Every structure is written in structure tokens, then in C-alpha cells.
Amino acid sequence: MADPSQQNILIIGGGIGGLTLALALHARGIKCSIFEAASKFEPLGVGINMLPHAIKVLSKLNLETELYRYGVEAQEFAYFNRHGQVIITEPCGKFAGYDYPHFSIHRGDLHKVLYDAVIDRMGPNSIYFNHSCSGFTQNDRTVKALFENTESHTGSVVIAADGFHSNIRKSLYPHESEPHYGGINMWRGVTIQKPFLTGASVTRIGTVDAGKMTIYPIRNFADGTQMINWVTEQPRSDFKKNDWATVGHIEDFIGPFKKWNFDWLDIPDLIDNAEFILEYPMLDRDPIDKWTFGRVTLMGDAAHPMYPRGGNGGAQAILDADSLANNFEKYKSQVRAINTYENERRTIANKIVLTNRQQPPDYIIEKVETLTNGLPFDKIEDVINREELLAITERYKNIAQYSIEKVSN
């Protein structure tokens, strides 16, 4: 009988995590195939931040040059209160002394960089489109991935990289409750305009209750303009289903921002001039205490869907891919590899899910809002000192695994 360790690793889902895993396995000479439900890839979504922990993995895959071509290398995080007053700025990526840059990039561009590399290095036959996985069967030597309306494929292990709505997770946890909605809805858009602040600032302004925006550039254009990504989070009791293509409407969220015409950015103007607006609820799922079942394991959003705060949804999928590939290289037994991967990654990722709910980096602004009763301040030093503010971001960096020390290891 064939040794399953010589067979194919089946990756279900060709998103950020699945494509990174394929590239990482290919770089180590390990065979895999990708099965993607979509018939082709569209540049859906808006901006995504890729911090140095994720870029370290992508750099090892020789993708840094392409990321420089498409993305904007971020220079700083900048936090403002709702009056547009700066609370703190903090350098990021190479500007903070990391060995790797921080990129702000359109999710479609990041995905294209990964997809082009897969096609270039592994060939078009490495990815099967129109393959929507409905579940799997397994025995002690092989696993069979089942697909809607097309033949099944047998491999040595299945890696479920099928995202937030993972069918494989559903088959492993058939009684799992609906996604957790914490009462916050998001509207996201992109606007083409002249740069603001440094031209490479990841900016967070205000609080969910008083009005909150996160704004950063994701593409540079030859004429000096940029594509600026923006997102607002607002409390809402109801929400539309989570689909990255749901169209949003200005009148549903503009309320708190009508007077946010700051001397460093005119936010009503930014919103008014959006190319398009999408609406998306802030959803995640409660952490689960097992990802690996025999020859099947979960990764990325299928394993640990989290609120898109703090630049970690995509990054943690990339770190999963790196851990999986390292363990497949290290262990002859692929079952041992996926169990070791889970041991390395599950506790960390689950903690980020909970931290993103309660205390993401923008907690800095919540804290100042409370200390000032929402009023403008004369000098931030009179409200809180810089060390206390930096302690909040340091805590998050440690939990999310992107402190300078961790990334340098």
C-alpha cells in the first residue's frame, strides 16, 4: 500500500492562508494541491495591514519586492481623539527597528501577489477552481476531500483554509452556534486623493461609541495621489450577513463624522469621495479547543476567525502556514506535523481572538476618552504619560507575536 506521507497534502481554500501554505510547502519540496470554491479570483475586499511578523514569512518566500510594488510601506501608527488631537504616534515596521517592513495593502493586491507566485512557481494545475469542499472521509492511511458537483480527491492530510464560513469546521463542529456578533457594524471604503500626514500613517481616531475611524493608504499612484482605505466601527443591534461584497450607504453611518474636518484630514470629504463603500459586521467565533481530527486540521479564519482589528486576521493565517510548513518539513509523519502545528499555534491564536474583542491597540483612545470625559485636552502629558500608552500597544504586540524580540528570533 502506498505510504500516505508520499501523497498529496490537500489545501481547501485559496485565500491568504491557503496560498501562503502552498508556497511554503513548495519551497520545501513538499507536494500539495489547492481546491478553491470560486470559479476565479476577483479583487474583492479593501485594505489589510501586514505587520512584520507576517512579512517575515512572506520575505522568506521571496515576495517582498512584489509587496513593495503594490503596497504602501507604513511608517507609523497614529492615534487621535475624536477632536482630531494626536494622542500618540509610534513608528512601525523598519521605521521602528524591525528587520521587516509593515505594508498596508489592498487585500486583492496581496492575494494577487500570492496567486501569481503560486502559478509561476507551481503551475496552473496546482489549483482546482470550482471545487467547493462539502466535507471529508478518512481512514488510518488517507483522507478523501468531498466536493459539491465534482469528483472527490484523496490525499495524506486535509488542511482546511476555507475561511470564516468553513464547511470543514462545520462538519467537525456541527452544533457550533452562529458567529459571535458583539454589536458593532463596520463600513469600509477607499478614496483616491492626496496623501495625508506622513503619506504612510496607519491612523486610528475616536471610539466606537463617539465615532471611530481607521484610515491608511494602500496604493501609491504615479501622479502623487494615493488610494486611502478607511473603516468606521459603530454600535448597531442589527447587521446584514457577512459578505465582503455587501454595498454600504453613507447615510447609515455618517452621523458622528459630519464635523470631523481636521487640519490634517477632511474626513467628511474623504467619505463623500469614496470609490465604493462596503458594509460588514464585526463577527468572530468563540475559540475552540481542538483543531486537528486525525488527518484533518483547521487553519486561518477556519480555525480562529477574529475581529479585523490590530492587523492580525491575515497575519495569523500566514503564521499558521509557516508553522504547518516547518512541521511538515521536520516530521515524516504528517499526522504528527499537524498535531505539533496545533500545539504551537492554537493557544496563541485563541488569545488574540479574545484580545481583539476586549483590548485591541486602539484601546489607547478609549482610555484617553474616559480620562478626559470625551473633551479636548491641552496637553496629552497632563492626561496620561507616553509610557502608559505604549504599554497598551506593547501588550498587544506580545500577545499577537509581533514584538521586535519575537520577530527577530
Ligand X SMILES: Cc1cc2nc3c(=O)[nH]c(=O)nc-3n(C[C@H](O)[C@H](O)[C@H](O)COP(=O)(O)OP(=O)(O)OC[C@H]3O[C@@H](n4cnc5c(N)ncnc54)[C@H](O)[C@@H]3O)c2cc1C
Residues near ligand X (CB under 6 A) are 12-18, 35-38, 44-46, 48, 107, 131-133, 161-163, 165, 167, 244, 300-302, 308, 313-314, 317
CB of 307 to ligand X, least distance (A): 10
Nearest residue (CB) to ligand X, 88 versus 349: 349
CB of 332 to ligand X, least distance (A): 27
- Give, in degrees to the nearest 5, the angle at Cα 182 between 178 and 187: 100
Minimal CB distance residue for ligand X:
15
Gap between the Cα atoms of 76 and 85, Å rounded? 16
> Taking the chain, what is the end-to-end CA distance rounded to the nearest angstrom?
42
Nearest residue (CB) to ligand X, 78 versus 321: 321
Gap between the Cα atoms of 77 and 102, Å rounded? 11
Decide if 232 contacts 213 (C-beta within 8 A). yes
CB of 302 to ligand X, least distance (A): 6
Nearest residue (CB) to ligand X, 37 versus 157: 37
Cell numbers given for 273: 469621495
Cell numbers given for 359: 483590548
Of 146, 131, 97, 108, which is closest to residue 408 (Cα–Cα)? Answer: 97
Contacts of 121 (CB under 8 A, 6+ apart): 23, 26
3-state secondary structure of 377: coil
CB of 359 to ligand X, least distance (A): 19
Gap between the Cα atoms of 317 and 327, Å rounded? 15
Nearest residue (CB) to ligand X, 256 versus 313: 313
CB of 12 to ligand X, least distance (A): 5
Gap between the Cα atoms of 374 and 361, Å rounded? 19
Nearest residue (CB) to ligand X, 162 versus 279: 162
CB of 317 to ligand X, least distance (A): 4
Question: Which of the 8 DSSP states describes residue 340?
Answer: H
Nearest residue (CB) to ligand X, 10 versus 384: 10
CB of 351 to ligand X, least distance (A): 17
Q: What are the phi and psi torsion angles at 31 (to 5°)?
A: -80, 140
CB of 166 to ligand X, least distance (A): 7
Gap between the Cα atoms of 265 and 308, Å rounded? 24
Nearest residue (CB) to ligand X, 63 versus 317: 317
Nearest residue (CB) to ligand X, 100 versus 136: 136
3-state secondary structure of 196: coil
